[in-house]
Amino acid sequence: MRHFATLDPHEYAQHRLRSLQREFVWSPGCDESWKEALRSRLRESIGLPEMTELPLEVEQIERRGMGDYERETLTYSTRQGVRAFAYLLVPKGVTASCPAVICVPGHGDGVDALVGEAPEDYQNQFAIQCVRSGFITLAIEPVSFGHRKSGVDEGKGSSCNRDSMAALMFGETMIGWRCFDAMAAYGVLRSQPHVDPNRIAIIGISGGGLVAFWTACLDERFAAAVVSGYFNTFLDSVLSIEHCVDNFAPGLAKIVEMPDMAALIAPRKLFAESGNLDPIFPAEAFGRACLTAEAIYKDAGVPGAFASDLFHGDHVFSGEKAMPQLIEWFS
């Protein structure tokens, strides 16, 4: 039989990917030692910076009444030499301990689009959805978007390419940078009055869905994650369809497939949603990923802690089923 050989590098990569034997494949009975070994390999792959106990040095820039909620504009430290930008949204009249969420946008105008400070887009202002659902909400700006875009790329939609390549030269990745910032944001949110530390979730769409999913996998302090427009298989999405360089990490394809990573969140809550017309995260692969997640949560003895929604639509944040489910989980 003639061996496979091609001039086409994409065909070559696809052929290799489909015959890979990954280091970690979930199966019923995978225990905590399997999970911790996988977490360790993922931290290594993305070059996740070491967590430090630097002062957050939160600075309030502005405070505004928004009708049924208050909004603060904040900056704060994440690690030495780096400050982050966020909006804190608090429902009016909060007097008792209540649930909270961190919201992470995808590609576009950055966090401003989540809070109504930029034109409404595919993300449907989901930070406002959250605060109006009763959650204290911290909407954070990812590295390379909006307020945290590199100045030399001011005229571009983002500085993802430049900044992701810089991260790689340090032996790190944009996945690691953004997840680290989300972990630091947990400290900011946790320090706010009336936040219940046992009911903090992370929510994201697209590139923000990546951050939400990965952060929940690597940081067990988060009680729940809502992942929109990202949960799929690596093979069928970022490895088959052109995606931004911020999705990639060295050696990741040989370590694990995305659905198996859900075992790192179980038994904590996980909601995945995707549009049936999403051109970059195919619906059929989303369905298969959800079947794996359902098996993981059933094996963990908490089948009700995973839920999903394949809604009619494109690459957008829906929240139609996700928000009521998160409210129910945290009630």
**Mean pLDDT, to the nearest integer, of 282-307?**
98
* Domain count along the chain: 1
In a domain, 291, yes or no: yes
Q: How far apart are CA 129 and CA 146, in angstroms?
A: 21
Q: Are strands 224-228 and 269-275 parallel, antiparallel or unpaired?
A: parallel
**pLDDT for res 55:** 80
In a domain, 43, yes or no: yes
Closest by CA position to 289, among listed 237, 222, 243: 237
Q: For residue 107, give every residue at least 6 positions away whose Cβ sits within 8 Å of its Cβ, in sequence order, or none.
A: 145, 157, 158, 160, 206, 207, 244
**pLDDT for res 323:** 97
Q: How far is CA 197 from CA 15, 223, 289, in A?
A: 46, 9, 29
**Mean pLDDT, to the nearest integer, of 68-77?**
97
Q: For residue 275, what is the domain's CATH number?
A: 3.40.50.1820
Kindly indicate the confidence band of residue 300, based on its pLDDT and cuts at 50, 70 and 90: very high
**pLDDT for res 297:** 98
**pLDDT for res 95:** 84
In a domain, 225, yes or no: yes
> Quick one: what percent of the chain has pLDDT higher than 70?
99
Segment 97-123, tens digit of pLDDT: 999 999 999 999 999 999 999 999 999
In a domain, 183, yes or no: yes
Q: How far is CA 229 from CA 149, 310, 316, in A?
A: 23, 10, 7
Kindly indicate the confidence band of residue 229, based on its pLDDT and cuts at 50, 70 and 90: very high
- Amino acid type, 164: S
Q: How far apart are CA 238 and CA 287, in angstroms?
A: 16
Domain that holds residue 234: 9-330
Q: How far is CA 325 from CA 133, 225, 272, 295, in A?
A: 11, 11, 11, 19
- Amino acid type, 251: G
Segment 15-42, tens digit of pLDDT: 999 889 999 999 999 999 999 999 999 9
Closest by CA position to 264, among listed 29, 46, 39: 39
In a domain, 115, yes or no: yes
> Quick one: what percent of the chain has pLDDT higher than 90?
92
Closest by CA position to 130, among listed 247, 206, 224: 224
Q: How far apart are CA 309 and CA 286, in angstroms?
A: 10
In a domain, 107, yes or no: yes
In a domain, 60, yes or no: yes
In a domain, 14, yes or no: yes
Segment 135-185, tens digit of pLDDT: 999 999 999 999 999 999 988 989 999 999 999 999 999 999 999 999 999
**pLDDT for res 4:** 84
Query: DSSP characters for 180-204?
Result: HHHHHHHHHHHTSTTEEEEEEEEEE
Q: How far apart are CA 68 and CA 208, in angstroms?
A: 26
**pLDDT for res 2:** 62
**pLDDT for res 1:** 44
CA torsion, points 253, 254, 257, 258, in degrees to nearest 10? -50
Q: What is the mean pLDDT of the chain?
A: 95
**Mean pLDDT, to the nearest integer, of 124-144?**
98
